[in-house]
Structure 1
Amino acid sequence: MDFELSDEQQLLEQSISRLLADTYSFEQRKNYMKEPGGWSKTNWSRLAEQGLLGLPFSEAQGGFGAGAAEIMVVMEAFGRSLVLEPYLATVVVGGGFLRHAGQPAQKLAYLTPIINGNKTFAFAQLERDSRYELHDVSTSARKLRNTYVIEGEKCAVINGENADTLIVSARTNGAQRDKGGISVFLVPADAKGIAKKAYPTQDGLHAADFSFSGVEVGADALIGDLGDGLPLIASVVDEARAALCAEAVGVMDESLKITIKHLKTRTQFGVPISSFQSLQHRIADMFIAIEQARSMSIFATMATGFKDARARADAVAAAKVQIGRSGKFVGQQSVQLHGGIGMTMEAKIGHYFKRLTIIDRTFGDADFYLRRLCERGALL
């Protein structure tokens, strides 16, 4: 099977690379981190001008009708530059819910502002006791005449600090760990009854914890079918996991590039340490780990289009296992080959390792998915 990028996809990759080369040096990124919410509104507008925010949406909705492969290209490029802007939270996740199950009125109200860069989203799903299980939801949404009243707490909501709109998973019936009875709602981030605690994360992004107390939303806030939101959540989250896999490949690619450059410039005994055979072997091992991750990232991207939900989930889980293992190995080797400088905030390589670590733990880490694949017999 041919996994080469098409001419259009290569042009997309080149366009993004040129944009990031001009706007996303390491020093520029440090300045963006100081802005409210931890990312640049100017850069977000640039992404909108380039059409990147409208990439996965249909032409009828004002987008470009691109698919998962194009998102993979974008996320790899973002990984190489450690982009801070909430593309995953807004376009991949928020846009994914609207694309798959949004009502016509919801698409009309939200897609154009997303594409134009006027609205950002955050997915409030994780709870303190749920770990990585999407069906473990204790936040409730009680029907009250023509509205729903949301009560509960969500934590570690990426882009929660700046998001205009929250997508909230809430239980409309059943017990906390039932797979049925979960619904998905669009909630204005400034709705009455919402309390927010924002904070920076280890990789330079920003997140927030939310408390919902008597938050009322109309019946038109429901996305998808009442009480049957888990399949929708699983589908969108699998797309997000595939996008994260692609981002991780970009992060690892750049980590290897930075490390090789360091080895060629640092000298020991009067020669560059890149000439030492033992270090060359480490670089070769890092390259192999990255190529294994790249193959699984492509597989996960293809799998997002599978009709069989279980086959899709198993493929994405397998990719997350490899991405987690490769990311840990590449990150550790990169920092170690830099020596003591690799542990400083001034060195780029430590920031790449931090991002790889957080990617592994977003929507489930390698150990979680390996255990799931073993339980399902999907390793055979």
Structure 2
Amino acid sequence: MDFKLTQEQLMLQDTAARMVRDAYGFEQREGFRQSEAGFSTAFMQQLGELGLCAVPFAEAYGGFAGSGVESMLVMTELGRGLCLEPYLHSVIFAGGLVNQLGSEEQKHSVLPRLGSAALQLAVALEEPQSHYCLNDVQTSATAVPGGWQLKGRKSVVVGGQSAGLILVSARTSHQARDEQGISLFLVDPQDPGVRRRDFATIDGRRACELFLEDTFVSHGSLLGEEGQALPALRYQQGRSIAAQCAEAQGSMEAACQLTLDYLKTRQQFGQPIGKFQALQHRMVEMYIELDQATSMTLLAACVADQQDSDERSRILAAAKFIVSRASRFVADQGIQLHGGIGLTWEYVLSHHAKHLLMVARQFGDDDHHLRAYTTLMQGYSA
């Protein structure tokens, strides 16, 4: 199998890498993190101007019709630079849902603005009790004259504090945890009855709790058919998992390089500590985990945009399991090999470690995906 990148893919990778390298020094990142938005709106705008936000979308909506591989190349560089912008949740996840479920009118209204970074989206699917189960939806949507009335609470809406529109899952029929009856709505956070409580995540990014208190949305805010959103939610979460694996790969590569450089320069007993065999073995183990995660990330990127199937779901579950475990291992070992400095907020490795621990739990932790993989393997014969 030929894994060589095309000339266009190499140019895309180089563009993303150069942007991150020029704009995302560690001190600059700290300034972005402490800003009101929690990220650099100028950098996000630059991503849009250079077409990186439009990569996954069709040319009809101002995009480049990129596949999971193109998304992987962009996400790897954003992960390497610890970029704070909600590209994953806005462009990949939310944009994918609009692209799959939206009417032509909705797609022409939303996707060009998303691709140019004139609009930021967020996805509100999780609830306090749901624990990774997309079908555990207690937020309700009641039909009223002219539209729907939403009531409920959504948790950990990454990027929701600054989003112009939020995609909200709500139950229009059936009981909690039923797979039928789940619908998806475009909600303007400035509408009456919408309240957000902002907070910082453990890795320095921003998210919010979303409270819907009899919030009215029009019929035109419904994405797709009423009560039939769950398959699309699962499919697009799979695409997001593949992209997140790439982001983790970039962060792990940076963490491994930082650790290796430290072992070469830190002196102990008159020589670099990297000369001690025990530390060399641990460094090799970090790179072994990174290599395994890189292989699964590439496989996940190759199947991310394929038609939904058990085989696709198995690969994505396996990739998330392996990358989650590798992320935790690289974070833990990087801190151990650095010693106390590895935990300090003023040193970039600690931010990579916190981000990798966050990645290992978003969209399902390794236990969740191991169970999913086991379930999908039952009755499977090669």
Does the TM-score normalized on the shorter chain lie above 0.5? yes
Counting only pairs closer than 5 Å after superposition, residues 24-35 of structure 1 correspond to structure 2 as 24-35=24-35
Residue by residue, what CA displacement relative to the aligned partner does 1:169-197 show, whole Å, maximum 9, x if unpaired? 00000000000110011111111101110
Shift in Å, 1:282: 1.1
CA distance in 1, matches of 2:11, 2:273: 37
The runs of 5 or more residues in structure 2 that have no matched partner are none
CA distance in 2, matches of 1:309, 1:147: 34
Single out whichever of 322-331 and 107-116 deviates more from structure 2.
107-116
Code of the residue aligned with 1:148 in structure 2: it is W
CA distance in 2, matches of 1:153, 1:312: 31
Shift in Å, 1:310: 2.3
| Alignment of 1:139 onto 2:132 | no
1:363 alignment partner in structure 2 = 363
Residue by residue, what CA displacement relative to the aligned partner does 1:62-90 show, whole Å, maximum 9, x if unpaired? 11111110000000001100000110121
Shift in Å, 1:242: 0.7
CA distance in 1, matches of 2:123, 2:197: 15
CA distance in 2, matches of 1:137, 1:225: 17
Q: Contact 1:203/1:351 (CA < 8 Å) preserved in 2?
A: yes
Counting only pairs closer than 5 Å after superposition, residues 89-168 of structure 1 correspond to structure 2 as 89-168=89-168
| Alignment of 1:6 onto 2:6 | yes
CA distance in 2, matches of 1:225, 1:311: 26
Q: Contact 1:224/1:232 (CA < 8 Å) preserved in 2?
A: no
CA distance in 1, matches of 2:321, 2:4: 24
CA distance in 1, matches of 2:245, 2:201: 19
Matched length? 380
SS state at 1:212 partner: strand
Residue by residue, what CA displacement relative to the aligned partner does 1:291-323 show, whole Å, maximum 9, x if unpaired? 100111111112223324322222111111001
Code of the residue aligned with 1:359 in structure 2: it is V
Code of the residue aligned with 2:251 in structure 1: it is V
SS state at 2:178 partner: coil
CA distance in 2, matches of 1:152, 1:308: 30
Identity %: 38
Q: Contact 1:55/1:65 (CA < 8 Å) preserved in 2?
A: yes
Q: Contact 1:274/1:280 (CA < 8 Å) preserved in 2?
A: yes
Shift in Å, 1:9: 1.1
| Alignment of 1:297 onto 2:297 | yes
SS state at 2:173 partner: coil
**Judging changes above 3 Å, is the alpha-carbon distance between structure 1 residues 161 and 308 closer, same or farther for their aligned structure 2 residues?**
closer
SS state at 1:36 partner: coil
1:287 alignment partner in structure 2 = 287
1:307 alignment partner in structure 2 = 307
Counting only pairs closer than 5 Å after superposition, residues 296-375 of structure 1 correspond to structure 2 as 296-375=296-375
| Alignment of 1:251 onto 2:251 | yes
Once superposed, what is the RMSD of the aligned Cα atoms?
Answer: 1.2
Q: Contact 2:171/2:183 (CA < 8 Å) preserved in 1?
A: yes
1:74 alignment partner in structure 2 = 74
Code of the residue aligned with 1:293 in structure 2: it is A
Shift in Å, 1:123: 0.3
Code of the residue aligned with 2:7 in structure 1: it is D
Shift in Å, 1:333: 0.6
SS state at 1:27 partner: helix
SS state at 2:141 partner: strand
CA distance in 1, matches of 2:283, 2:319: 22
2:46 alignment partner in structure 1 = 46
2:262 alignment partner in structure 1 = 262
SS state at 2:37 partner: helix
> TM-score, with normalisation over the residues of structure 2?
0.97
Counting only pairs closer than 5 Å after superposition, residues 162-241 of structure 1 correspond to structure 2 as 162-241=162-241
CA distance in 2, matches of 1:59, 1:305: 16
Q: Contact 2:67/2:305 (CA < 8 Å) preserved in 1?
A: no
Shift in Å, 1:376: 3.5
Code of the residue aligned with 1:95 in structure 2: it is G
